[in-house]
Homo-oligomer: A and B are copies of this chain.
Amino acid sequence: MTKEKQKTAPSKSALRRQREREQRYQTILKAAEGLFAVDGYHKASMEKIADVAEVSVGTVYFYFKNKEDLIVQLLDKIGFQLRNCLGAEYKKAAGSIDGFRRAGQVFFEEFCPRYPEKIAIFFRESAGQSSHVEKHRKKIFNRLIADIEDALQLMSEKQGIVFQSSLSAQVMATSILGMFERIAYQYLIWQDRSDDFEIIGKDAVAFIVGGINSLCR
């Protein structure tokens, strides 16, 4: 995608071009995000995406290999944001259970209300589309789960806790992600109870903390 011809310092106009390119790319991605979230992946045609992004279909194909690529890039981006968001909290907590508390809070009280479209794409539109997309989805979900698992392991080490089984940490991590997913789906996508997200988040976090504790011997 990036050409590697000129090894000399890039000229001013080249820089500007580079900037414009990046902008276009983001504009198209943004358009796709909105349409996928609202109309659904299949109903959102490439033409409509191009229309919303105010470019031609050809241009969309210049920046993205195909329609699949669009959702895959979107998936990657959202996954990245999500990991950043939650990961930061785990790190800050440095092995204490507080990390899980905070991560939950950030997810429910900040991420969800702020990026409902990303939630819809990450948990709804990207599901069951094609094997290629599904492969990506799996990878990203696995990374998120691994992050949580790592935090759990760190906690167990720091606090000398032993889990019930060798799989416990992974199962717990998966469980937490599943909770995040369905609660967001339920209270954000299906019902719109953004206002209650503080209480919902608190309950969810308490559930998680309790669940984690019970898996410790």
Chain A positions within 8 Å of B, measured between CB atoms, are: 1, 3, 40-43, 51, 54, 124-125, 127-130, 138, 141, 145, 164-165, 167-168, 171-172, 174-175, 177-183, 186-187, 190, 196, 199-200, 202-204, 206-215
Contact = CB atoms under 8 A, between A and B. Distances in A.
Give the interface centre of A40, A128, A167 by most chain B CB atoms within 10 Å: A128
A203 B128 contact: no
Contacts of A182: 174-175, 177-178, 181-182
B167 A203 contact: yes
Contact of A178 (B130, B145, B183, B213): B183
Contacts of A164: 202-203, 206
Nearest to A203: B171
Contacts of A213: 210, 214
Contacts of A130: 40, 43
Given A129-B40, A145-B186, A211-B211, A175 B204 contact: yes
Contacts of A43: 130
B40 A204 contact: no
Contacts of A209: 214
A212 B207 CA distance: 6
Given A124-B128, A127-B128, A210-B210, 16 more contacts: A1-B51, A40-B130, A128-B128, A145-B186, A165-B199, A165-B202, A168-B203, A171-B207, A174-B183, A175-B178, A175-B179, A210-B212, A210-B215, A211-B211, A213-B214, A214-B214
B174 A186 contact: yes
B199 A167 contact: yes
A164 B171 CA distance: 25
Nearest to A128: B124
A203 B178 CA distance: 14
B181 A181 contact: yes
